[in-house]
Amino acid sequence: MSPRRFRASVDFAVAPAVAFDYLGDPRNRPEWQSSLLSVTLPERAAEPHLGLAWRETTMVGVRPRMEITRFERPTAWAEVGRWRGVEATLVLAFEERRSGCRVIAEGEISGRGAYAVPAAVAGRLAGLAIGADLRKAARILGSR
């Protein structure tokens, strides 16, 4: 099956650098990403950087290996996640706005073999899920 693409955009009431630093740090993910239980970094104190890798544990038991593949503070950040026959990418763009910034999330999910159908289903839901997660992150940052 071909990759399933998704997109969402959310306005944040903070500067692009603030949104970038929060969203681009895997240690913050469990606070704003609804499907995530935990993040395991090889070194908990490691600052986010290009090539940083970690393992996530999701509510459904999936444990993808994640890696930052783009780190251009404060304008662009990307990751790739792999778990068995599934691969997902996420790219975040940070656009300055008068009242803060807009975060644009684009990505795709693909699966091989027995994982093709579950990946396609996940891809259909991903745009809605990432939109909801980004709105939660915007509320968290807006209240600080």
**Prediction pTM value:** 0.94
- pLDDT value of residue 1: 62
What are the pLDDT digits (tens) for 52-104? 999 999 998 889 999 999 999 999 999 999 999 999 999 999 999 999 999 99
In our burial notation (b when 16+ CB lie closer than 10 A, e otherwise), range 70-98 reads ebeebeebbbbbebeebbbbbbbbbeeee
Q: What pLDDT digit, counting tens, does each position of 86-99 carry?
A: 999 999 999 999 99
- Give residue for tokens 């090539």: 51
Cis omega (within 30 of 0) for bond into 64: no
In terms of residue numbers, what domain contains 129? Answer: 4-142
What separation, in Å, do the N-terminal and C-terminal C-alpha atoms of the chain show? 43
Phi, psi for residue 74 in degrees, rounded to 5:
-110, 30
Q: What is the pLDDT of residue 124?
A: 87
Q: How far apart are CA 104 and CA 11, in angstroms?
A: 9
Residue 5 has what pLDDT? 94
Q: How far is CA 125 from the centre of its chain?
A: 14
For 4-52, write each residue's pLDDT tens digit.
999 999 999 999 999 999 999 999 999 999 999 999 998 877 899 999 9
* pLDDT score, position 37: 94
Is the model's pLDDT at 132 over the cut of 80? yes
CATH code of the domain in which 41 resides: 3.30.530.20
| Span 121-131, average pLDDT | 91
Residue labelled with tokens 């644009």: 104
Number of structural domains, the chain? 1
Task: Examine the pLDDT at 118 and tell me if it is beyond 90.
Answer: no
Q: Which two tokens stand for residue 87?
A: 């691969």
